[in-house]
């Protein structure tokens, strides 16, 4: 029995199966995603979704591949699409089984015929493979495959139009086509020689219910150039491929088997995390048109295709623990440094958005990531030699003052922010205005600032001129910050830290940002204060899925998440649970209470096994609702959540191993 499996009763229940999604990447920028029954419910879904360098952004090329089986004068349509008022076809009624290991596999029963379907992306190639096997059949059958093509950006929708290029060329066991200028050609081929029936047609008003709920446009038209048909018997295998170039059809079966054999089996909680983590690290080679060189990026979430400094720096330490290979870790750091402007690192919101540089905390998270890298590498002098100049530049920029009024104050603390901009990770906007602007001195910003300075002093080489300058200029600052930090944020009667401080006063909302101050390798807090902070956080913010972004006792707390995009953004940081913050809570809690709390913290880590088949198959969702039962919401797979759960598990295991009583 597969570790993750769904049976007939679950699959034919649309209320159940449409809430289960799967996403797989090629680790170079392309992905495939849909619900487990193959019905696309949002614009980000597609069988082949790939970057298009010549026109920019990430684009849905093949939306879906519909199957029709003709046998004994009967026909069975296996596709599933949502149209106004109904689903058509209703291929899900023929489903009998879904297993996730080693690649997603659907089993259909069509009278006397049993047909299986498996899908995968070829690693580091913009190519999809779909394998069909006739497991049982008493007579011959005909399999018809109809590719539904989009050729549009993942953030847009397509309508029938006269600009489309309907021309195609016959190639070896398939066709070549390209619907619009600027796109890569699409080569579609089958492993047995098919008949291609040219029958161009638009399918109108396909609906995406998830987009409709968000208050977005939710209907689009898809183009089908025609159909591939093959005659099959029991035991026969058919492989369909769609990609940017022509392949030898005789090699498709070997290609599929090789790709399957190299997959990590999703047969355990840890392996599910491993498979998912590997997808977030994006390796791209420089092309002849690019001057940016080879890149290593972290994709925060594929369906939104968001990437940038903050998410990458928070995620890469946990993601790198999967293999223990520091090459990707260093590659990410170097890629982000190549994109740096002054002290700032880029932040992309979506696949077609221009990079922005408005994350006040990203440079400070860079220090934390570099700190974790140094810990794994075990060579401070090498880190200082390579990154020392950057470390000094960022510190000096924040001390002297830079964009967004970010500047170190006389008391050593950082102040920053301008109207209309959200510079921290709490960056939701409604009508162009930040929901939680946090202008002033956010608590985690100054905790990260303190940690950054201490880390710089730790690795600064005293034998180098640059190292001596850093030590001389900054050695007095940590003590200044320690004194200012406690006086600014701490209230002994309340027992926790203010979330933000500015000229208007102190924001005493109980939020999780104070946990970061308690958990960092260098914390500005005394142990007594850290204990009190963790106590309040545990009582008001802790859930089995992470930390709430706001205490339920606050009048602005919202425990449910839904509605239109604006409605969701209003509550995004007003009570939603964020799993990535749990890593810092567990680390701080164990560092103080040690083995006494190990079982409790281990249970929090192991509790995430329950979510593997819940929303994003074998992954951890972006957020969870603040109110029980903490339903998964947002995108189905989020890099920093997966990474921090991995890091949390490693921290727990390492601590347990290092503190085991010695048996004589």
Query: Which domains occur in the chain, in start order?
Result: 5-252 (2.70.98), 270-657 (1.50.10.10)
pLDDT tens-digit readout, 286-301: 654 444 578 999 999 9
First and final C-alpha spacing in the chain: 42
Give 336's DSSP letter.
Answer: H
Residue (of 70, 96, 95, 65) closest to 81 by Cα position: 65
DSSP 40-77: --STT-EEEEEE-TTT-SEEEEEEEEEEEEEETTEEEE
The larger pLDDT score, comparing residue 303 to residue 68, is at 68
Q: 168-171 and 174-177 as β-strands: parallel, antiparallel, unpaired? A: antiparallel
Quick check: 214 and 139 in contact, CB under 8 A? no
Q: Enumerate the H helices of 109-261 as residue ranges.
A: 209-213, 252-261
Q: Which residues lie closer than 8 Å to 8 by C-beta, 6 or more apart?
A: 95, 96, 97
As a residue count, the chain comes to 664
Q: Enumerate the H helices of 189-308 as residue ranges.
A: 209-213, 252-261, 269-280
Is there a cis peptide before residue 440, judged by omega within 30 degrees of 0?
Answer: no
φ, ψ for residue 150, nearest 5 deg: -115, -55
Q: Enumerate the H helices of 494-596 as residue ranges.
A: 513-519, 527-540, 565-571, 582-593
Burial of 224 (0-12, 13-18, 19+ CB in 10 A): middle
Residue 397 CA to residue 342 CA, distance in Å, equals 8
Neighbours of 84 (CB within 10 A): 9
Distances (CA, A) of 462 to 41, 167, 278, 626, 643: 58, 68, 38, 49, 34
φ/ψ region of 531 (left if φ > 0, alpha if ψ in -120 to 50, else beta) reads: alpha
Instruction: Give me the pLDDT at residue 289, please.
Output: 45
Q: Facing residues of 402 across strands?
A: 406
Instruction: Give me the pLDDT at residue 350, please.
Output: 52
Instruction: Give me the pLDDT at residue 378, please.
Output: 94
Instruction: Please give the mean pLDDT across all residues of the chain.
Output: 95
Residue 406 CA to residue 417 CA, distance in Å, equals 7
Instruction: Give me the pLDDT at residue 287, please.
Output: 53
φ/ψ region of 558 (left if φ > 0, alpha if ψ in -120 to 50, else beta) reads: beta
Residue 338 CA to residue 310 CA, distance in Å, equals 15
Which of these ranges, 74-78, 111-115, 322-326, 499-503, has the smallest mean pLDDT? Answer: 322-326
Share of the chain above pLDDT 90, in %: 90
Q: 46-51 and 58-71 as β-strands: parallel, antiparallel, unpaired? A: antiparallel
pLDDT tens-digit readout, 553-588: 999 999 999 999 999 999 999 999 999 999 999 999
Is there a cis peptide before residue 102, judged by omega within 30 degrees of 0?
Answer: yes
Instruction: Give me the pLDDT at residue 288, please.
Output: 43
Q: Which residues of 125-154 are buried (b: 16+ CB within 10 A; e: fewer)?
A: bbbbbbbbbbeebeeebebbbbbbbbbbbb
Residue (of 2, 67, 58) closest to 25 by Cα position: 58
pLDDT tens-digit readout, 510-555: 999 999 999 999 999 999 999 999 999 999 999 999 999 999 999 9
Instruction: Give me the pLDDT at residue 321, please.
Output: 87
**For 393-419, what is the mean pLDDT?**
97
Instruction: Give me the pLDDT at residue 547, please.
Output: 98
Burial of 385 (0-12, 13-18, 19+ CB in 10 A): middle
Instruction: Give me the pLDDT at residue 353, please.
Output: 55
Instruction: Give me the pLDDT at residue 662, please.
Output: 67
Quick check: 37 and 108 in contact, CB under 8 A? no
Residue (of 550, 619, 547) closest to 579 by Cα position: 547
Torsion angle (degrees, nearest 10) of CA 641, 646, 647, 648: 90
Residue (of 547, 540, 521) closest to 456 by Cα position: 521
Instruction: Give me the pLDDT at residue 9, please.
Output: 98
Quick check: 536 and 496 in contact, CB under 8 A? yes
Residue (of 513, 354, 299) closest to 427 by Cα position: 513
The vertex-583 CA angle with 633 and 446, nearest 5°, equals 100
Residue 438 CA to residue 416 CA, distance in Å, equals 9
Residue 300 CA to residue 280 CA, distance in Å, equals 7
Residue 309 CA to residue 315 CA, distance in Å, equals 10
Quick check: 106 and 67 in contact, CB under 8 A? no
**For 376-386, what is the mean pLDDT?**
95
Q: 490-491 and 496-497 as β-strands: parallel, antiparallel, unpaired? A: antiparallel
């Amino acid at each position: 029995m597969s570790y993750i499996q769904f049976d007939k009763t679950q699959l034919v229940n649309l209320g159940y199966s449409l809430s289960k999604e799967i996403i797989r990447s090629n680790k170079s920028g392309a992905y495939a995603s849909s619900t487990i029954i193959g019905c696309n419910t949002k614009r980000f879904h597609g069988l082949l979704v790939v970057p298009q360098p010549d026109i920019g952004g990430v684009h849905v090329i093949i939306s879906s591949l519909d199957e029709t089986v003709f046998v004994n004068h009967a026909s069975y349509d296996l596709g599933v699409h949502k149209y106004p008022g109904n689903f058509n076809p209703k291929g899900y009624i023929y489903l009998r089984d879904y297993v996730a290991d080693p690649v997603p596999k659907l089993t259909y029963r069509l009278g006397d015929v049993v047909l299986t379907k498996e899908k995968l992306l070829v690693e580091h190639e913009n190519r999809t493979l779909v394998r069909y096997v006739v497991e049982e059949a008493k007579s011959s059958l005909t399999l018809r495959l109809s590719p539904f093509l989009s050729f549009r950006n993942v953030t847009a929708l397509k309508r029938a139009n006269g600009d489309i290029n309907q021309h195609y060329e016959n190639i070896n066991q398939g066709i070549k086509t390209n619907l619009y200028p600027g796109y890569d050609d699409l080569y579609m081929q089958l492993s047995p020689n098919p008949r291609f029936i040219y029958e161009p047609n638009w399918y109108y008003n396909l609906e995406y219910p998830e987009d409709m709920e968000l208050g977005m446009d939710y209907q689009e038209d898809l183009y089908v150039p025609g159909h591939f048909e093959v005659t099959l018997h029991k035991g026969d295998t058919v492989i369909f491929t769609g990609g940017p170039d022509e392949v030898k059809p005789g090699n498709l079966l070997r290609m599929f088997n090789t790709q399957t054999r190299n997959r990590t089996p999703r047969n355990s909680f840890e392996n599910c995390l491993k498979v998912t983590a590997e997808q977030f690290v994006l390796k791209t080679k420089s092309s002849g048109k690019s001057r940016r060189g080879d890149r290593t990026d972290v994709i925060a979430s594929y369906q939104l295709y968001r990437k940038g400094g903050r998410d990458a720096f928070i995620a890469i330490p946990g993601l790198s623990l999967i293999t223990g290979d520091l090459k990707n870790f260093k590659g990410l750091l170097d890629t982000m440094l190549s994109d740096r402007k002054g002290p700032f690192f880029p932040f992309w919101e979506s696949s077609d958005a221009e990079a922005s540089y408005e994350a006040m905390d990203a440079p400070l998270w860079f220090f934390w990531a570099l700190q974790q890298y140094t810990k794994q590498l075990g060579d401070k002098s090498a880190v200082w030699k390579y990154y020392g100049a950057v470390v000094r530049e960022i510190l000096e920029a924040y001390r002297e003052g830079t964009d967004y009024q970010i500047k170190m104050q006389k008391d050593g603390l950082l102040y920053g922010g301008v109207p209309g901009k959200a510079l921290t990770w709490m960056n939701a906007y409604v009508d162009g205005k930040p929901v939680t602007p946090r202008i002033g001195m956010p608590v985690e910003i100054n905790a990260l600032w303190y940690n950054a300075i201490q880390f710089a002093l730790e690795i600064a080489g005293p034998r180098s001129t640059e190292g001596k300058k850093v030590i001389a200029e900054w050695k007095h600052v940590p003590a200044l910050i320690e004194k200012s930090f406690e006086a600014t944020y701490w209230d002994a009667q309340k027992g926790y830290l203010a979330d933000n401080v500015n000229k208007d006063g102190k924001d005493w909302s109980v939020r999780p940002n104070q946990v970061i101050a308690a958990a960092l390798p260098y914390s500005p807090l005394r142990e007594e204060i850290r204990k009190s902070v963790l106590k309040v956080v545990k009582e008001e913010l802790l859930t089995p899925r992470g930390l709430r972004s706001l205490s339920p006792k606050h009048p602005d707390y919202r425990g449910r998440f839904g509605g239109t995009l604006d409605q969701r953004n209003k509550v995004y940081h007003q009570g939603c649970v964020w799993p990535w913050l749990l890593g810092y809570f567990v680390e701080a809690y164990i560092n103080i209470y040690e083995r006494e709390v190990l079982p409790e913290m281990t249970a929090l880590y192991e509790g995430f096994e329950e979510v593997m088949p819940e929303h994003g198959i074998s992954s951890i969702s972006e957020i969870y609702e603040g109110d029980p039962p903490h339903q998964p919401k947002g995108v189905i797979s989020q890099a920093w959540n997966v990474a921090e759960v991995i890091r949390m598990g490693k921290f727990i295991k390492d601590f347990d191993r290092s503190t085991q009583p010695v048996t004589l």
